[in-house]
Chain A
Amino acid sequence: MKAVGARLPRYDGVAHVTGQTQYVDDIRIRGTLWTKALRSPHHNAAITRLDTSKAEALPGVHAVVTHKDVPHNVYGHLEALGIPADEPLLAVDEVRYKGQPIAAVAAVDEDTAREAVSLIEIEYEERPAFFDIRKAMDPDSPQIHQWGPVYPHFGSYNHRRVRKGDIDAAFEQADTIVEGVYRPQAIEHCPIEPQTALVVPEANGRLTIYSCTQAMYFSMGVVAAHLQWPLNKLKFVGGTVGGGFGGKVDTASETISALLALKAKRPVKWRWTREEEFLASSTRAPWHMELADAVTSDGWILGRRMTTLHDAGAYARFSPYGVTKHAFHHTGAYTIPNVHFDGFVVFTNRVPTTAMRGFGVTSVSFAVETHMNRIAEVLGIDPLQLRLKNANRIGDTTPNRVVLKDPSTVPVVLAAADRVGYDLPDEYKSMTNERRSGDLLPPHLVDQLGGSDASTNGGGR
């Protein structure tokens, strides 16, 4: 165990500081063609005409692809779980976000590829766009997704639900109700390496795909699904990522480059511009979270009602997964025995949203921690004391009924207080994460405690 806690040199440090690290864009294969894409200039529109013949005829153009060239165009990340697919790789008869790819061109150089894209003839019929997730259920809001305003496949519900304890009783017993609305906005991952793929058709019929993906085997599966190829015909080369932060989990450039390489029978590279990164790459989602907590004047949180709206953008991708994680974390690092949570995945005309550093959880942590401060302010009690009192302890049960074996809230809050020289009374300073008893086990927390044998998951009511 000599490596744990030791300051070891990075295995790739010397390569980074001498410029020897090879990112996808640094690989040189003779005869590589450049790619440019035709992207939607509209948030929401029907495509009424698409003609690529002039682009195909331009000297120096080796391939043009549209949805007609994709063996399996409409794909969904959750198909394997029986959830239908909703997102086309290349748009068919409509576009649902600005920047959505419609066609792509491979040509001898960047300028020729750009010129070819400008020669593609396309006509749109613009439709009203929809962005305000709070209006999703309004009958007057534009309908943009074939599944309706929200993702409908959470089992038999159209939202992720968590129910535990007796929420009505908690609100009846409360001294005060503390409400709050929290709305963190979209964030672009903005890796310094833009999305890049290089695809080389090999003599044996396989494709070698140099990829900046964060998820090699996942991306391989996505490309294989679109091409309807077995995995053993794809060789993925990757692992050197110039920053991703979640934004390189979705497979953005590999499949279209592969289709172009197959059609042109030449190596094809696609490096997005910074403008494309900002316009068309996925972002962290905007969220709308409404909380109402039933609290007692001495600082116990008896119950929480919460409604979350998550902006999925134009297609589902991993949003249902993000909302599920969000739901599991909606009481944060604190024990609240009675909860009522509804989380909706709302479709809008923004670029599809995706994972980013703590997928689904950073939003709810922001809301929960801000709300803790608000409760402390309303009750006139110290915000750290409020946290320490309600902090998770051994044997406490989470909203999704996991009995905690070693929660770290108490030691973390105490360490943070210590570092910033925050003064706490001795009874708080001496707190640990041990199983609740005495003053820390008020009647409302008794029934939620799991058995002392930590393997007894599913405690609580």
Chain B
Amino acid sequence: MRLTVNGEPRDLHSPPLTSLLTALREELEITSPKAGCHQGGCGACTVLVDGEARRSCLLPLAAVDGAAITTLEGLGTSDNLSSVQAAFDEHYAAQCGFCTSGFIMAATALIDRTPKASREDILTALSGHVCRCTGYIKIVSAVEAAAKGDVHPERVEPSFEPEEAEVLIPGSPA
């Protein structure tokens, strides 16, 4: 079977009923789609299949022969984040990070299709995705910001100048 994965043509040799998730992770070693449940319940395995967000754990390889697959690795890089990636970082929408790949792929598909996505649209698009850490509020704010184009990918790194260090304990070596 032949797929286009993140823009590159790839031949796959896993048996045709292998899930796309297992083929991506075990054969191609593309590990951003996560195996949270392997039964369609959590959304952590979400990838784009011809631009649509799909749960890769439920898709047999045979059903996606010839398709174009995009995973998180196929969006921006660390020095050139996509707007959704930058918004997730800026809004603290990734805590442990295990659900993040699935959420970013679903949000990316939504914004590509509906550039001015409303809060309603966002809630619907993310509704089948489970995050146990963030409580969702930060995720929804991140996607709202990305939909509005209100992102600031340049990271403000904190600077700790040694000469500015306060002496907390008088007489200490600091």
Contacts and interface: CB of A to CB of B under 8 A. Distances in A.
A17 B104 contact: yes
Contacts of A274: 36-39, 41-42
A193 interface: yes
Nearest to B132: A243
A271 B35 contact: yes
Given A13-B88, A191-B132, A192-B34, 4 more contacts: A18-B85, A21-B97, A193-B36, A194-B36
Contact of B29 (A13, A28, A244): A28
B133 interface: yes
Interface stretch (B48-56, B58-66, B111-119, B154-162): B154-162
A18 B101 CA distance: 8
Contacts of A3: 158, 160
Interface in A154-197: 189-194
B77 A13 contact: no
Interface stretch (A4-12, A219-227, A374-382): A4-12
A20 B77 CA distance: 10
Contacts of A9: 89-90, 155-157
27 contacts: A2-B158, A2-B160, A8-B158, A9-B155, A13-B89, A13-B94, A14-B78, A14-B81, A15-B97, A17-B89, A18-B72, A18-B81, A19-B31, A19-B101, A20-B78, A21-B97, A25-B35, A26-B31, A191-B132, A192-B44, A192-B130, A194-B36, A243-B96, A245-B132, A274-B37, A274-B38, A274-B42
A19 B38 contact: no
B58 to A, nearest CB: 13
Contacts of B32: 19
B150 interface: no
Interface string A227-247: 000000000000001111100
Q: Which of B42, B76, B158 has the most CB of A within 10 A?
A: B158
A16 B97 contact: yes
B98 A193 contact: yes
B34 A16 contact: no
Contacts of A1: 166
B99 interface: yes
Which one of B34, B76, B88, B104 has the highest number of Cβ atoms from chain A below 10 Å of its Cβ?
A: B34
